[in-house]
A and B are shown apart, each in its own frame.
Chain A
Amino acid sequence: MSEIEIESRNLDLWYGSAQALKNITMAMPEKKVTAIIGPSGCGKSTFLRCINRMNDLVKDCRITGELLFEGTDVYGNSVDAVELRKKIGMVFQKPNPFPMSIYDNVAYGPRVHGLRNREELDRIVEESLKASALWNEVGDIPDRSAIDLSGGQQQRLCIARTLAVKPKVILFDEPCSALDPISTAKIEDLINTLKHDYTIVIVTHNMQQAARVSDHTAFFLLGELIEFGKTKQIFELPEKKSTEDYITGRFG
């Protein structure tokens, strides 16, 4: 049994008066991949964005309950969202590289956190590009604009950029939904490698993907957590009828 890294307890979330998350209680273990599945609008992204407090940016967003990271409530008074996000990285649905060079994209995080030493930066950039399986493709063109890369390369660059900050957790919000099958396969391979060092939470609409990459799966429906368990069990022996219906494509 591995340690629990992230745990939500009775988490409720409202956007204005609309409740988007209802009493979510689940625990995500360390260095495992947890997949979140469910139909569009069921609150997957919302839940993911609670973990690194990206919902702080949304006006009129109100949260009750607890969200523990390493045992501390991330919404507690003593927690600084900026510090928290150094430990909990996020990769978004749409690749969003900065309009800068490849190098500057990866070095952005370390620089923002005060690193100036060029050799150290070089080392981190190389490491991160290697870890995101991009080094072979862009290692010799670090000064090229990131905007010129393909969508799949851009997404791996975004992963490299996240790795460069050395987080403990990486949140993926449908990282492959804008990518072709080959790029998708590369990202999935990458996730399978990264899970040895990072705790990963991934939102996906792709059932096969959830089955391939995750250890645990959570099924959300209309803001509620319907079922959470080992991926194998969720896919082979779901306890709830709605889970089974969703997985087998009978609704969604």
Chain B
Amino acid sequence: MTSLISPATSNRAAKVMLWVSASIAILTLMFILGYIVVQGLPVLTLSFLLESPRLSGAEGGILPAIVGTFCLMLVTLLSAVPIGIGAAIYLAEYAHEGAVTRIISFGVECLAGIPSIVIGLFGYAFLAIYLGFGFSILSGGLALMFMVLPWVVRVSEESLKAVPGGLREASLALGATKWQTVSRVVLPSAVPGITTGVILGIGKAIGETAVIMFTAGSSLLMPTSLFDPVRALPYHLYILASEGISDKMAYGSSVVLLVMVLAINLAAVAIQRHYGRHHVRN
């Protein structure tokens, strides 16, 4: 049986259809970004970035929210990275495949599946109330850590497992201990992958609203310690928009949020470049 459409025609048709799909994807992205930037640009002045808000944010700037967001990210990063990578190293390099690793992996999966609003509630009950951290950078950052930890663990574990076994054998055969092998050979080889995982996690966390509104508070004052409440950018723009305070200011905040995400991604690329220079080039 011969097909009615010749291979050359179907080839051309496929090419056109793929091109259309790609164009739609890119155009959607451009449209969203363009719209937000155009809407937000008028309010984007130096004083918007460097001043505190006035009249609940209808006027003035968003500096405390920017600083608050940075502080939250820092707490999240500094807690999630060591714990996440530590857990991943244990799972990938030390634990024998068995009941324990399955339980831990299952736990990690479950943690990943918990809706962020529930994590927020837990963070409120456990961190803010039970541990007495109150509405604060510490509570918010740690609650976000709960949220990103599964990502960090899973991606780090995958990256560690992807390091060729020959490198481990080579190191051990030179009389290196297991820990020397893991810390000097395996971990550095896995850094590009781990970085990607951490960035994905932080990218998720930076736009997260449900977790922080229960834990970080919504203060518009400049924080002075880890125990001060802050209002993160996404929550700020949510309030600006939902309470009808100022759409312009909300778009301005969105642009700043987008730029922060972009900056984080660029940092990730730089780290990957740095560590990737010894990897096979084609």
Contact = CB atoms under 8 A, between A and B. Distances in A.
A132 interface: no
Interface in A31-68: 52, 54, 57, 59
Given A96-B166, A99-B188, A108 B171 contact: yes
Interface stretch (B151-159, B174-182, B226-234, B238-246): B174-182
A54 B184 CA distance: 19
Contacts of B164: 96
A113 B96 CA distance: 27
Given A98-B167, A112-B180, A112-B184, A83 B175 contact: yes
B12 interface: no
Contacts of A97: 170
B99 interface: no
**Size band of the interface chain A makes with B:** 20 to 34
A148 B251 CA distance: 48
A85 B188 CA distance: 23
Nearest to B163: A99
A82 B176 contact: yes
A179 interface: no
Contacts of B116: none
Interface stretch (A86-94, A185-193, A206-214): A86-94
Contacts of B280: 147
Contacts of B189: 99
Interface stretch (A20-28, A71-79, A158-166, A218-226): A158-166
B95 to A, nearest CB: 12
Nearest to B279: A99
A26 B164 CA distance: 33
A108 B177 contact: no
Contacts of B278: 99-101, 145-147
Interface in B250-281: 277-281
A212 B271 CA distance: 48
B170 A109 contact: no
B170 A96 contact: yes
Nearest to B168: A57
A112 B175 contact: yes
B25 interface: no
Given A85-B173, A112-B176, A96 B167 contact: yes
Nearest to A98: B185
B51 interface: no
**Size band of the interface chain B makes with A:** 20 to 34
B171 A92 contact: no
A82 B175 contact: yes
Contacts of B177: 82, 112
Contacts of A90: 169, 173
A54 B170 CA distance: 10
A98 B171 contact: yes
B279 A108 contact: no
A74 to B, nearest CB: 13
Nearest to B275: A99
A61 to B, nearest CB: 13
A57 to B, nearest CB: 7
Nearest to A109: B174
B281 to A, nearest CB: 8
Given A112-B180, A146-B278, A98 B170 contact: yes
B172 interface: yes
Contact of B166 (A52, A94, A145, A146): A94
Interface of B: 96, 164, 166-167, 169-177, 180, 184-185, 188-189, 277-281
Interface of A: 52, 54, 57, 59, 82-86, 89-90, 92, 94, 96-101, 108-109, 112-113, 145-148, 158, 161-162, 165
Closest 4 CB pairs of A and B: A86-B175, A99-B278, A96-B166, A90-B173
Given A112-B171, A146-B278, 13 more contacts: A54-B169, A54-B172, A54-B173, A85-B173, A86-B174, A96-B167, A98-B167, A98-B185, A99-B167, A99-B279, A147-B279, A147-B280, A147-B281
30 contacts: A54-B173, A82-B177, A83-B175, A85-B175, A86-B174, A86-B175, A89-B174, A90-B173, A92-B166, A92-B170, A94-B166, A98-B167, A98-B170, A98-B171, A99-B167, A99-B189, A99-B278, A100-B278, A108-B171, A108-B184, A109-B175, A112-B175, A112-B180, A145-B278, A147-B278, A147-B280, A147-B281, A161-B170, A162-B174, A165-B175
